[in-house]
Chains A and B, each alone.
Chain A
Amino acid sequence: MKKNNSEYRLEMTGISKSFGVVSVLEHVNLKVKPGEIHALLGENGAGKSTLVKILSGVHQKDSGKVVLDGEEISPKNTHDGQVLGISVVFQELSLVNDLSVAENIYLHKLGSSKFWMNWKQITKDAQELIDSLGFEIDASARVRDLSIVQKQVVEIAKALSEDTKVLVLDEPTTVFDPTDTKKLFDNLFKLKAKGISIIYISHHLDEIFKIADSITVLRDGVDTGSMAVADTNTDGVIRLMIGRELKDLYPTRDVKIGEVPVLEVKNLTAKETLVHDVSFSVRPGEVLGIAGLGGSGRTEMAKLIFGAHKKKSGTLILNGKEIKTKTPVCAVGHQIGFVSEDRKEDGVFLPLSIRRNISVTNFSGISGKLGFINVDNEYKNVLDLIEKLNIKTPSSEVDVKNLSGGNQQKVALAKWLSIDSKVVFIDEPTRGVDVGAKIEIYNLINEVAKKGVGVVVISSDMPEIMGVSDRILVMHEGTFYGELTKEEFSEENILRYSIGERLKQVV
C-alpha cells in the first residue's frame, strides 16, 4: 500500500460534472484532514450534494481526481464507497419503509455477508447503536411508523454502522430541534476525536460556527475558496455564497392584522395521535408561529385540522361559521392550505415536471368549465412563480426529482401560495433552503398574509419562528403549553414551554 504523505485524508481536485448540457460542477477542490469537521456551503443548487454524491459513488465525475489516504479512488456505486470507508447521510431519506429500523441499519450488509442473517443479534446491535447515540427509538419498529425526526436518526445510525474514514452529512439537522441537534453534535465530536473526517453540509450558518474547523464554499458549481472557520464570520461566508451582502434576514412587515379571527380551533383532540385539547385562533393577516420540540405533535395538529388525520372531538370555526374537515378535500374546499414538512413523501410529485407540480392545486384558476386547461395561463402562472421564488431551473418542464433539495422545497411552497386561501399551514417552510432564498420565502409569507390570509407557520428553527411570527404558541406533548407575544420572544422562553414548564395558560 502506498504511504499517505499528505496531511489530508481526502483530496478531491478539479472535479467537474454535468448532467446533459447543464454543467453542475467545474474544477471543484475539496480537501479534508483526519479528525476535521469540514463544512461545505453554498446556495441551493450550488452543487454540494452532487459533489458528495460523486465522492460516495452515486454519480460518476466527468473529470478530476479523488484521492483517499494517498490512493486514487473512483467508486462506481455507494457499495464501493462504503467498502472504501465513505459513509453518507444523504439529504433525502433513503430508508425502506416496510423494513424494521434494525433491518434498515444493516441493509447494506445483506449482500455481502453470510447467507443467513441473525436478526435477533442484528436488532440487538442496532438498539445498542441507537442508544449509544443518545436517541430513543425501538430498533424493531417499522420505519413507516417513525416520525421524520426518528427516520433521520436511523439514517445517521446507518451511516455509523460502518468502519468509516470519511463521514458525509448532507443537511442532517433540517428536521431536528435544538436538543436533537445538540445530541448529534456531541456524537460528531466523539467521531472527530477518533480521527474520522467529517464533511458537513448545512444552511444553518450558526451550526457551522459551532462545530466546523474549516469551510469550503461553492457558488454555481465553482468553489470560491476554503478557509479556517477562525478566519471568517457569517457575513464573510454569505458574501462568498451569494456574491453580495444580505441585509435583513427577516423582512419587516407592515401588515394590518384583522380583529376577528379567520379560524378558531376549539378543544381539538385526535383519534390516533397524542394531540389533545388544542385551542387557538388565527386572525387575518397574522403569522402565527407554532414552536415545540420534534414529536410534540405540531405536524399532527396541522394534519388534523387539514383533515388528513382523524379527529376525535373539537370544533373548527372559519369566519364565524362552524366547518367540518373530514378529508383534505373538505379542507381545500374551505380554502385551507397545508404545506407538508416531508416534501419527498407527500409534498411534491418527484417524477413530474415543475409545471405539473405547481398546477395541481390550482386547476380552477387555469381551466374552463369542462376541465380543459388553458395552457397559456398555466405557463404564465408557473413561470411567474418560478421567477418570484427564484427556483433555479433551466425550464418549467424539468422533473422535480432533478432539482436540488432547496429548490424542491420552493416548488412545494409554490403549489400552495399561488392560490387563494383563507388559512395556510406551513410546516417547516425553509427546510433545506439557503439564506438568500429564505428571505424570498419570508417575503412571500408576508405577501400572503397581506392579502388577509391567516398564516400558521410550524418551525423547529428558533430564530426563524421568532423572525417571522407575530405571536408564538408552544406545543408540548400534544397540547399548547404557552403563548408568547412579540415582546416575550426569546429562545429561552420557547424552550421552557417546549419542555413542559407551564408558566402561563393559553386563553
Chain B
Amino acid sequence: MALTLKQQLSSPGGLLKFLVKHNTIFIFVLLVIFSALISDVFFTSVNLSNLLKQVSGIGIVSIGMLIVILTGGIDLSVGSMVALLAVTFAILVNVFILPVAILLTLVIGFGLGSVSGYLVAYQKMAPFVATLALMTIARGLGFIYSKGSPVTFKTPGGAFMSNFANNSTLGIPNIAIVFFLIVILAMVMLRYNVFGRLVIAIGSNEEASRLSGIKVNKYKFLVYAISGALAATAAIIVASRTNLGSPNMGMAWELDAIAAVVIGGASLNGGKGTAINTLMGVLILGLIGNILNLLNVPSYPQQVVKGAIIIFAVLLQRFDSK
C-alpha cells in the first residue's frame, strides 16, 4: 500500500515524529550548532562556563516553578524572593557562621513559600493572586532590610562562598553543579517518588485526587514551600557570585522561569512536565541570550527574539498533542 508523505513522516520511528516529541532537545541542539557556526568564541571553555553560571540561579528557580506548575498553580513571587533572600543571606553571613547562615536562609525561604502555600491550599486563594501579593511584599521587604543599597559580604564565611561560587570543579562551575544536582533530585522525585506522582495527579484532576484519598491541600502547600526553599538556594548562589546581596536581584526571574518551564513542554493547566525538559528550557533561554550577546545584539531586540522562540517552541508542542 502506498503511504502518503504525511503518513511516512508520522509513522513510528519517523524522523518528524521523533523530533516533535523531543522538540526541546531538538531546539537545543539546533541552537548549539547554530551558535558554534556563527561565533568562534562560543565553544571556548570561558564562554561555556559563563553561560552555565548565568543560568544556574534562574535554573534552580525554574525547577521550583515547574513543581508548582505541575499542580496547576503558578508562583510569581520567586524573583522577589531571590532579592529578599539574597539580602537576608548577606546580612546573616555577616552575623553567623556560614552553615547557620545558609540553613537560616533556606528555612526563611521555605517559610515565605509556605505563606503562599497556606493562602493557596487552605484559604483557596487563586495562586496568581496570592503569589502576586507575595511578590510585591518580598521585593518591598528586600529594599527595607537593605535600606535600598546592596549588602556586601564581610566575613571569612562570605569569602568562602564567593570563592566557591566563582570556581569550577573538573571544569564545571560549582554553582552549575549545584543546579544539576537539583535537576537530578527533582527528576528522581518526580519520576520515582510518590511525591511526584501525587503532584502530577493533583495537577491533572484535583477532584479525582481528592476522591482518591490524596492529601491535596498538603501537597499544594508543600510545592510553594519547596519553591521558596529553591528560591533561597538560588539567592545564596547569586549573592555569592557577586559577593553581595542586592534588593534588585532576580528582576523578572519569575517570567524567565515560567518561560523555561513552558518551553520545556509543561502545561500551565498542570499535570504535564518534566525536570529534564525544564533544564532544556533553561539552557535554551540561556543560549539565546548568550549567542545574542556574542553577536553584540542589544538587549531590547534580544527580548523580541526570546519571545519569538517561546512561541515557536509552544507551537511545535501542539503537533505532539494532536
Contacts and interface: CB of A to CB of B under 8 A. Distances in A.
Interface in B193-212: 193-195, 197-198, 200-201, 204-205, 207-212
A399 to B, nearest CB: 10
Interface in A409-443: 415
28 contacts: A21-B11, A327-B210, A328-B211, A329-B215, A340-B208, A346-B207, A346-B208, A347-B208, A347-B211, A349-B208, A349-B209, A349-B271, A350-B205, A351-B271, A356-B200, A360-B198, A360-B209, A360-B212, A360-B214, A361-B213, A363-B194, A367-B193, A370-B193, A371-B195, A372-B192, A372-B194, A373-B193, A373-B197
A340 B271 contact: no
A375 interface: yes
B213 A329 contact: yes
Given A20-B12, A346-B211, A347-B208, A367 B201 contact: no
Interface of A: 20-21, 306, 308, 327-329, 331-333, 338, 340, 345-352, 356, 359-361, 363, 367, 370-373, 375, 415
A348 B212 CA distance: 9
A375 B193 CA distance: 10
Contacts of A371: 193-195
Nearest to A21: B12
A308 B211 contact: yes
Contact of B212 (A345, A372, A375, A415): A415
B201 A360 contact: yes
Contacts of A360: 197-198, 201, 209, 212, 214
Contacts of A359: 197
B192 A306 contact: no
Nearest to B17: A20
A44 B80 CA distance: 53
A373 B194 contact: yes
Most buried by B among A21, A346, A348, A375: A346
Given A20-B12, A371-B194, A371-B195, A350 B212 contact: no
Given A348-B205, A361-B212, 19 more contacts: A328-B211, A332-B212, A332-B213, A333-B213, A345-B208, A346-B207, A346-B211, A347-B208, A352-B201, A352-B271, A356-B197, A356-B200, A360-B197, A360-B198, A360-B212, A360-B214, A363-B197, A370-B193, A373-B197
B214 A329 contact: yes
A370 B214 CA distance: 17
B319 to A, nearest CB: 14
Contact of A372 (B193, B201, B207, B272): B193
Nearest to A330: B213
A349 B201 contact: yes
Please tell me the size bucket of the interface on B.
20 to 34
A350 B204 contact: yes
Nearest to B193: A371
Contacts of A21: 11-12
Nearest to A419: B213
A308 B213 CA distance: 10
Contact of B213 (A331, A350, A373): A331
A329 B198 CA distance: 13
A181 B266 CA distance: 43
The 9 residue pairs across chains A and B that have the minimum distance between CB atoms: A332-B213, A371-B194, A346-B207, A363-B194, A346-B208, A349-B204, A351-B204, A349-B205, A371-B193
Interface in B157-207: 192-195, 197-198, 200-201, 204-205, 207
Given A360-B197, A373-B192, A352 B204 contact: yes
Contacts of A345: 207-208
Contacts of B271: 349, 351-352
B211 A352 contact: no
Contacts of A349: 201, 204-205, 208-209, 271
Nearest to B205: A349
Interface string B65-101: 0000000000000000000000000000000000000
A478 to B, nearest CB: 21
Nearest to A416: B212
A356 B272 CA distance: 13
A347 B205 CA distance: 9
A360 B12 CA distance: 30
Nearest to B216: A329
Contacts of B200: 352, 356
Contacts of B204: 349-352
Contact of B210 (A328, A333, A373, A415): A328
A427 to B, nearest CB: 10
Nearest to A373: B192
A361 B211 CA distance: 10
Most buried by B among A328, A348, A356: A328
A51 B210 CA distance: 35
A88 B209 CA distance: 31
B194 to A, nearest CB: 4
A345 B211 CA distance: 11
Nearest to A370: B193
Contacts of A415: 212
A448 B257 CA distance: 48
A367 B194 CA distance: 8
A105 B204 CA distance: 27
Contacts of A338: 211
B306 to A, nearest CB: 29
B138 to A, nearest CB: 31
A329 B205 CA distance: 16
A62 to B, nearest CB: 9
A328 B201 contact: no
A55 B204 CA distance: 30
Contacts of B201: 349, 352, 356, 360
Contacts of B272: 351
Contacts of A348: 205, 208
Contacts of A20: 12
Nearest to A18: B7
A296 B82 CA distance: 55
Nearest to A415: B212
B202 to A, nearest CB: 10
Most buried by A among B194, B208, B210, B215: B208
B215 to A, nearest CB: 5
A328 B214 CA distance: 8
A371 B211 CA distance: 21
A327 B214 CA distance: 10
B151 to A, nearest CB: 38
A21 B11 CA distance: 8
A306 B211 CA distance: 8
A370 B185 CA distance: 14
Interface string B207-228: 1111111110000000000000
